[in-house]
Amino acid sequence: ETLEAGLEKTRTGLFDKLSRAVAGKDTVDDDVLDDLEEVLVTSDVGVTTTVDVIRRIEARVAEDKYVSTAELQGLIRAEIANLLLQNAPERPADFDAPLPSTPHVVMVVGVNGVGKTTSIGKMAHRYKVAGKSVLLGAADTFRAAATEQLDVWAGRAGVPIIKQYQGADPAAVAFDTLAAAKSRDTDVVLIDTAGRLHNRVGLMDELAKVRRVMDRQVAGAPHEVLLVLDGSTGQNALRQAEAFTESVDVTGLVLTKLDGTAKGGIVIGISNEFQIPVKYIGVGEGIDDLQVFDRSAFVDALFG
Ligand code: GDP
């Protein structure tokens, strides 16, 4: 899917609400700003970020005295682009970019069902197509189905996988995966992790342990910790980001299922509230439906 097609519902939702908010008005006044606030909140941009955007637009309106409602859309677009830029000054590296070191170890975290396995499969495919060797590590040993699913994706992407039996120590799987990567001269290692344990403290302790152990095998690993969030869950995704970023050093976000949802505004809210760059977005179930997040393309797709 293209980004434009993927964000179609978010775009039309935002525009419909916006045009209703400014219907019959020529200038941006307090009423319009109140309505705009509601539009942004209901588009899942998030309260904190909405307040930021409204404040910036208020400042512009106060400065220019007369701002027409026709100009409003351009203003919102500019402020949202600024917010995204501020929180992610650099465009994330593409799959074919040279790696700072090898093996480049990426740990992938997130709750079950958000699209973690699918995203790992898509990333493996993209790295491979870019000419890099890839190894997957099945460190979600809590659910038997997790390893099976990852295995299916390893097959689809045509990359090897290190796995153990259900209930095995996930840290040991990660350790072994990195050992194998070193001996095979692998470029990129993608480590899947559990999305649910008996309780949250248990999960966060386990993730911390997996992390620590990897550093003993490859100094500095993991080089990236990607948190996968389901973009179609709106405010739920925000709460998950809160829980994970408190306990795990998340370096980047993957927002999935942006196709077919009207809640794409979450991308803006999450990157603004957590100051963590969105690295990839998922726009479909297929192996090619993962994109390096490009904030200009995103704003273009959102505002046409
Ligand atoms: P996990 O439990 O987090 O590993 O989740 P899975 O990778 O198994 O994905 C859960 C479901 O979401 C599957 O049916 C996937 O096909 C679907 N899925 C994952 N990413 C996307 C996406 O970007 N768009 C859509 N539409 N579906 C997705």
Minimum-distance ligand 1 atom for the alpha carbon of 112: 2
Q: How far apart are CA 240 and CA 227, in angstroms?
A: 9
pLDDT tens for each residue of the chain, 304 residues long: 677 777 888 888 887 888 888 888 888 888 889 999 998 888 888 888 899 899 999 998 888 878 888 888 888 888 888 887 777 767 889 999 999 999 999 999 999 999 999 999 999 999 999 999 999 999 999 988 999 999 999 999 999 999 999 989 999 999 999 999 999 999 999 999 998 866 778 889 999 999 999 999 999 999 999 999 999 888 889 889 998 998 889 999 999 998 878 788 888 888 888 888 899 999 999 999 999 998 888 888 887 7
pTM for this entry: 0.91
Q: For residue 256, which atom of ligand 1 is closest to its CA?
A: 23
Determine the Cα–Cα distance for residues 6 and 301; give it in Å rounded to an integer: 9
Which one of 147, 229, 285 would you pick to mutate in the ligand 1 pocket, going by the greatest count of ligand atoms within 8 A of its CB? 285
Q: How far is the CA of 285 from the centre of ligand 1 (A)?
A: 6
Q: Which atom of ligand 1 is nearest to the CA of 284?
A: 24
Q: For ligand 1, atom 19, which residue shows the shortest CA distance?
A: 115
Structure ipTM = 0.99
Q: Which residues contact 131 (CB under 8 A, 6 or more apart)?
A: 96
